[in-house]
Amino acid sequence: MTEALDKLLVLLDLEPIEENIFRGNSPKEERQRVFGGQVAGQALVAAGRTVERQGGTLANAGVGGVPPGARAGAQTTVHSLHAYFLRPGDPTIPILYEVDRIRDGRSFTTRRVVAIQHGQAIFNLSASFHVAEEGIEHQTVQIGDDVPPAESLPTLRELLDPVWDRVPEWYGTRPIDIRYVEGEPWILRNEKHPPRQRMWIRADGALPDDPLVHACVVAYASDMSLLDTALMPHGLTWSDPGVMGASLDHAMWFHRPFRADEWLLYVQESPTMSGARALSQGRIFASDGRLVVTVVQEGLLRTSTR
């Protein structure tokens, strides 16, 4: 496990300070605000810590017992989250996460989490957990035959080597191993490109077997590059003068089991932007082609250069 991944797992290991209240910290990085993926991951940890993890037990099966299609002892895992970024987070102080136990049902458990700093809400998340069930399946989207294996692609460090002295430490040293399918990352491109990019991602080291940890790591990683896609057709990067962006809301649906320490293909596109708001969409596939996660985000994107 790399040092960066070890630090991420420490960030996700929230401190319980009262019933339904947890405290999280931020890394000591030179950022003006807390990274949105960090807050989303920590909020999901807080929600998951209050959920009975074994479905179909007397603890949460309700009067009706085991839900249809589920077996006793089936795992309860997150299947969706919807979040709003309300205020910039202050990276110099801890974040408090207050969990509201909205519902404990036979098949579904719902939690609401509010992240608080300086007495104000900075982030709001609703998450739903589902007892694993058997059912019919289909999938209409595929990876495609033009995607090379992750191991055949250069690392982010290798791509950034020519400009390494100008790369912020938090960007170049990450807990997520990223391999860009199209070659150079958007930050090195000085020309306009279609608003679509593909990359292989995985945790930069082995993770525990807990499915909640894997979901939280992917939630963290999902916010690292999604809004970047909206800049590509304009030939802009975040380092350009007058360019400012921030996540406004973030939604994820977890379709099938996966491991975040195994290669996942993250396909991203931005179908529209107007009114200084960009919509970006992402599909995350396991290396065997299964669609495991869908992501949708709207972000604020202001520029005085165009």
In whole angstroms, give the CA distance from residue 36 to residue 266: 18
- Residue 45: name the closest of 204, 203, 219 by CA: 219
Query: Do 267 and 152 sit in the same domain of this protein?
Result: yes
Look up residue 91 and give its two tokens: 């990276």
> Is 232 in contact with 74 (CB distance < 8 Å)?
no
Residues marked as catalytic: 223, 247, 297
Are residue 179 and residue 296 in the same domain, yes or no? yes
Mean pLDDT computed over 17-38: 90
What pLDDT score was predicted for residue 171?
Answer: 60
Selection from 206, 218, 303 nearest residue 258 by Cα: 218
Instruction: Between 287 and 224, name the one with better pLDDT.
Output: 287
Residues 123 and 218 in one domain: no
- Asked whether residue 93 falls in the same domain as residue 161, the answer is no
The pLDDT of residue 71 is above 80 = no
pLDDT at 73 over 70: no
Same domain, 208 and 273: yes
What is the band of 306 on the pLDDT scale with cuts at 50, 70, 90?
A: very low
- Specify the CATH number for the domain of residue 197: 3.10.129.10
Q: Does residue 198 sit within a domain?
A: yes
Does residue 138 belong to any structural domain of this protein? Answer: no
* Boundary residue ending a domain (70, 103, 133): 133
Q: Do 8 and 122 sit in the same domain of this protein?
A: yes
**pLDDT per residue over 259-285, tens digit each?**
999 999 999 999 999 999 999 999 999
Q: With bands split at pLDDT 50, 70 and 90, how would you rate the model's confidence at 143?
A: very high
> Burial, 158: exposed, middle or buried (Cβ in 10 Å; 0-12, 13-18, 19+)?
exposed
Helix (H, G, I), strand (E, B) or coil at 173: coil
The answer to whether residue 156 scores a pLDDT higher than 90 is no
Domain count, the chain: 2
Report yes or no: 270 and 118 within 8 Å, Cβ to Cβ. no
- Do 240 and 92 fall into the same domain? no
Domain limits at 86? 1-133
| 9, two tokens | 């797992």
Residues 48 and 184 in one domain: no
From CA 59, how far away is CA 37, in angstroms rounded?
31
**Boundary of a domain, candidates 133, 167, 201:** 133
Task: Tell me: do 154 and 237 sit in the same domain.
Answer: yes
Indicate whether 9 belongs to any domain: yes
Distance CA(96)–CA(248), nearest Å, equals 20
pLDDT tens per residue across span 48-60: 999 987 654 333 3
Regarding whether 90 and 25 lie in a shared domain, the answer is yes
- Is the CA virtual torsion 219, 221, 222, 227 positive or negative? positive
